[in-house]
């Protein structure tokens, strides 16, 4: 590997690469153009070229890198696996930062079967933990997002991501953080700063103020390790899928399910998606049939939905407990959703369907059932916490031309992704209002209003509205950026604040009272006075 050439603007300080190599070894510092471009890619509006990429193998190496960066006035942008697609990817908020890639820090440090937790380093992936549990603790379930096996757990928890099981709110299941501060100190939260505190990984708050919240969606420290709770495999389990062909049914579905969520009968996240969202999981934009028109013409939308047997609204959730509790809860769900289509699926039914398909195959008639199983299987597994890649497929909706083989990273396929993710109270009227705000905006900019509503807690929903484009199509990318801005602006104007933003959504967060963000800036100034860590990340400018 070459030393950086400052004349090319690759690196203003020629000994930076040398210093980083002295810390992490020669093979884990990258200053070459192609690596830097790869890390700087964006599924949003603009890539940002980093100065270098450094991959430490330990907390101690992170401390030394931070010390060096602080002394030299460098900025470090930590990533765990860089799969933050649609919310910033691996890229730094601004060009010229050093990407601190924590993917080598991928040790599963501890597994406690009895108390149901693991302690993991920042680089551990969903797939890695899944495999580990299959081998070492099949009695425990993890929770997965739809980002697939290569995405990180720590990064998602810090961005307050969510999955599908009873432990779907990832903020609530992280217990105890190890954090490298900008001055090189290592902070352990919860009870982690006491030697051998026996409750360190089972009690989140510690004693005295709780600091974990400071390090979520922020840039005041580099989280290198967390504890993560796992739930025991339930004695009995049933997934349920419900749907309605009526575009107006959303409000009713939410009103029927909300009481079951609020009284604790349903403990897992419930996801409800519209037809467009489900279409994107099954096929790409039908450019030919649409004769190049966007957004998707209504007639074509109806045709595609009929072909793929997709209803206006489709949702899923899960029930766990003893067999008797699951039976009783299934009855309650069935009763609540009475006017709507609802199907309950458990391991036995899945196995049966596979056997039936096998039998039908002998008569050449199993294809239809096999196709259905191919759709349901990955989702069913995801509902049980298994990371699957199928959810990523939707991001390719607007990608033109041949795909470069099976896609594990949407950026490899030039997928443009921008999510607007407002939080709303768990009421049907809020969901309807939100739809009525976003649909005309999508249409005006030539995009499809894909949306899922996730009942994330007992009284709140997160709506993830997807905006997909092809990053190579500059006109489309520009329209996407304009659409995203208008969505964000309009939603904020109506009180629907996002749960999470990407770089181009950050500045919009500065409105209303200035005190909150002023206080955040004061705390950042206190813990990182030189702006070493990820300058710009969740720092809305006035």
- In the window 159-218, what residues touch its own copies (CB under 8 A)? 160, 166, 171, 181, 185-189, 191, 193-199, 202-203, 205-218
Q: How far apart are the first and last CA of the chain?
A: 42
Report in angstroms how near the CB of residue 210 gets to its own copies at its nearest.
3
263 in contact with its own copies (CB under 8 A): yes
What phi and psi, each to the nearest 5 degrees, are found at residue 455?
A: -80, 90
Q: Which stretch binds its own copies (CB under 8 A): 260-268, 342-350, 353-361, 396-404?
A: 260-268
Can you say whether residue 327 is alpha, beta or left, with left for phi > 0 and alpha for psi between -120 and 50 degrees?
A: alpha
Q: Does position 111 bind its own copies by CB under 8 A?
A: no
Cis status of the peptide bond prior to 286, with omega within 30 of 0: no
Options 267, 388, 452, 534; binder of its own copies; rule CB under 8 A: 267
Q: Which is nearer to its own copies, 269 or 413 (CB)?
A: 269
Q: Which parts of 475-494 interact with its own copies (CB under 8 A)? A: 492, 494
- Exposure of 153 by Cβ count < 10 A (0-12 exposed, 13-18 middle, 19+ buried)? buried
Task: Pick out residues in 218-257 that bind its own copies (CB under 8 A).
Answer: 218, 220, 229, 231-232, 234-235
* Interface stretch with its own copies, choices 108-116, 149-157, 369-377, 473-481 (CB under 8 A): 108-116
Least distance (Å) between residue 277 CB and its own copies: 21
Q: Build a one-symbol-per-residue string for 39-58: x at contacts with its own copies by CB under 8 A, - elsewhere.
A: --------------------
Q: Measure the CA–CA gap between 51 and 12, rounded to whole angstroms.
A: 8
Q: Is there a contact between 240 and 333 (Cβ–Cβ < 8 Å)?
A: yes
Nearer to its own copies, 52 or 426 (CB): 426
Which has the closest alpha carbon to 323: 260, 381, 232, 237?
Answer: 237
In the complex, minimum distance from the CB of residue 162 to its own copies, in angstroms, rounded to a whole number = 11
Can you tell me which of 338, 405, 515, 542 binds its own copies, judged by CB under 8 A? 515
Nearer to its own copies by C-beta: 304 or 342?
Answer: 342
Q: Which of residues 307-346 bind its own copies (CB under 8 A)?
A: 320-322, 324-325, 327-329, 331-332
Which of 94, 457, 490, 504 binds its own copies (CB under 8 A)? It is 457
Beta carbon nearer to its own copies, 161 or 378 = 161
Q: How far apart are CA 277 and CA 315, in angstroms?
A: 11
Q: Does 116 bind its own copies (CB under 8 A)?
A: yes
DSSP 8-state secondary structure symbol assigned to residue 75: -
Binders of its own copies in range 120-159 (CB under 8 A): none
Using H for helix, E for strand and C for coil, what is the string for 482-530?
A: HHHHHHHHHHHHCCCCECCCCHHHCHHHCCCCCHHHHHHHHHHHHHCCC
Considering only 70, 340, 414, 500, the residue that binds its own copies (CB under 8 A) is: 500
SS3 (DSSP) at 310: coil
Candidate list 259, 401, 404, 440; residue touching its own copies; CB under 8 A:
259
What does the alpha-carbon distance between residue 335 and residue 34 come to, in Å, rounded to a whole number?
57
* Beta carbons within 10 angstroms of residue 24's beta carbon: 20
Residue 467 pairs in a beta bridge with: 418
């Amino acid at each position: 590997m070459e030393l950086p050439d400052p004349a090319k603007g690759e690196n203003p300080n020629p000994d930076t690469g040398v210093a980083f190599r002295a810390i992490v070894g020669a093979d884990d510092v990258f200053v070459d153009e192609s690596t830097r471009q790869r890390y700087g890619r964006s599924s949003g509006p603009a890539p940002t070229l980093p100065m270098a990429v450094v991959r430490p193998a330990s907390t101690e190496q992170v401390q030394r890198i931070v010390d060096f960066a602080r002394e030299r006035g460098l900025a470090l942008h930590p990533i765990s696996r860089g799969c933050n697609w649609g919310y910033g990817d691996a890229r730094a908020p601004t060009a010229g930062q050093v990407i601190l890639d924590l993917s080598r820090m991928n040790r599963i440090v501890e597994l406690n079967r009895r108390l149901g937790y693991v302690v993991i380093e920042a680089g551990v992936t969903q797939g890695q933990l899944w495999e580990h549990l299959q081998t070492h603790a099949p009695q425990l379930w993890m929770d997965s997002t739809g980002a697939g096996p290569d995405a990180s757990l720590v990064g998602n928890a810090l961005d307050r991501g969510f999955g599908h099981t009873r432990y779907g709110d990832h903020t609530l299941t992280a217990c105890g953080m190890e954090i490298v501060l900008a001055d090189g100190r290592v902070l352990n939260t919860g009870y982690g700063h006491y030697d051998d505190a026996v409750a360190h990984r089972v009690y989140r708050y510690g004693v005295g103020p709780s600091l974990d919240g400071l390090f979520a969606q922020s840039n005041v420290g580099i989280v290198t390790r967390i504890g993560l709770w796992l739930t025991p495999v339930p004695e009995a389990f049933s997934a349920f899928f419900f749907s309605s062909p009526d575009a107006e049914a959303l409000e009713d579905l939410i009103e029927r399910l909300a009481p079951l969520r609020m009284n604790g009968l349903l403990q897992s996240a419930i996801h409800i998606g519209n037809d467009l969202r489900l279409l994107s999981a099954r096929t790409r934009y039908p450019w030919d049939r649409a004769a190049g028109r966007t957004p998707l013409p209504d007639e074509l939308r109806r045709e595609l939905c009929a072909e793929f047997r997709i209803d206006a609204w489709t949702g899923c959730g899960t029930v766990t407990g003893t067999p008797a509790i699951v039976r009783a809860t299934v009855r309650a769900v069935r009763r609540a959703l009475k006017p709507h289509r609802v199907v309950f699926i458990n391991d036995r039914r899945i196995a049966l369907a596979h056997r039936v398909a096998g039998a039908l195959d002998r008569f050449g008639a199993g294809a239809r059932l096999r196709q259905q199983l191919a759709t349901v299987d990955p989702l069913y597994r995801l509902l049980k916490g298994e990371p699957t890649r199928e959810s990523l497929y939707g991001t390719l909706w607007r990608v033109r031309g041949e795909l470069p083989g099976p896609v594990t990273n949407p950026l490899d396929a030039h997928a443009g992704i921008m999510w607007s993710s407002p939080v709303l109270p768990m009421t049907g009227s809020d969901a309807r209002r939100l739809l009525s705000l976003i649909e005309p905006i999508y249409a005006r900019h030539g995009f499809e209003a894909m949306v899922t509503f996730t009942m994330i807690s007992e009284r709140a929903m997160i709506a993830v509205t997807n905006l997909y484009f092809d990053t190579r199509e500059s006109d489309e990318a520009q329209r996407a950026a304009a659409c995203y801005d208008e969505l964000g602006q309009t939603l904020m104007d109506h009180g629907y604040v996002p749960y999470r933003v990407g770089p181009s959504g950050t500045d919009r967060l500065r409105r209303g009272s200035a005190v909150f963000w002023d206080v955040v800036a004061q705390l950042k100034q206190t813990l990182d006075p030189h702006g070493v860590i990820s300058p710009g990340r969740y720092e809305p400018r006035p």
